[in-house]
Amino acid sequence: MIKGNVDLLKEILDKSQYTVAICGSGMLAEMGFITVKTPERAYEIEKKYGVSPEYLFTSVYYNTRSDKFFEFYKNEMLNINLEPTPSSYILAAMERAGKLQCVITSNIYENPQKAGCHNVINLHGSVYQNKCPKCGRMYSLDYIKSSKRVPLCETCNTMIRPLVSLFGETLDSQLMTRTTQEIEKADVLLVLGTTLDSEVFSNYIKYFNGSRIVIIHKNSHYSDEKADIVFCDEPKNILTQLGY
């Protein structure tokens, strides 16, 4: 393992034939969003709603306590600044320069796409995709946010389902397969704002057979020893030095 060296990282990216970026919760932190699983925020939510987010953000609550689910979802998940972070713009520039072939993200806010990335896997879905489970009609984020209580389909009056992965749900099998395939193809794996031991990504990272793993995250972690280069910093502070 080599501690952060931007020149070496640039050299590795320039030589790579296929680079994949994995974007975790640290990328959300760059836009000021603290995940609902963070202990301090989870405590605040439980105090406010009387239930922990691990119960609120589930299919059980969506189906049985729909009004409370959408109150939480709109207030805590959607009532934030959804603009791309500096890191997202750099990833888009890297893609345009042919230095990045795929972005895999747990971000449900489509930050990479809004910054200009095209080959993106939204592993946990997107807040911008909302579907009537009965007739299949799609609805915008604005429609969900502007609904007074529970958003209902204008065609069949069925409760609309945000196409995001709720806690405890199995991820979309096609997305899982595509994620594995992209990581298998990679020469270089950029791990941004998360760790190799991530609950979300570790089962996919094990399929990496390329030459270099680069980690950029704020706090050091014991699994960093498995990487080739590690930067203990916010991804935006390193990526903006690459000159793309």
Binding residues for Zn(2+): 132, 135, 153, 156
Helix (H) or strand (E) holding 9: helix 6-15
Of 118, 124, 217, 221, which residue is the catalytic one? 124
Binding residues: 132, 135, 153, 156
User: How would DSSP label each residue in 117-162?
Assistant: --SEEETTEEEEEEE-TTT--EE-HHHHHH-SSS-B-TTT-PBPEE
Beta bridge partners of 120: 103
For 111, how many CA atoms within 13 A lie in the half-sphere containing its CB?
Answer: 28
Annotated active-site residue 124? The verdict is yes
User: What residues are labeled active site?
Assistant: 124
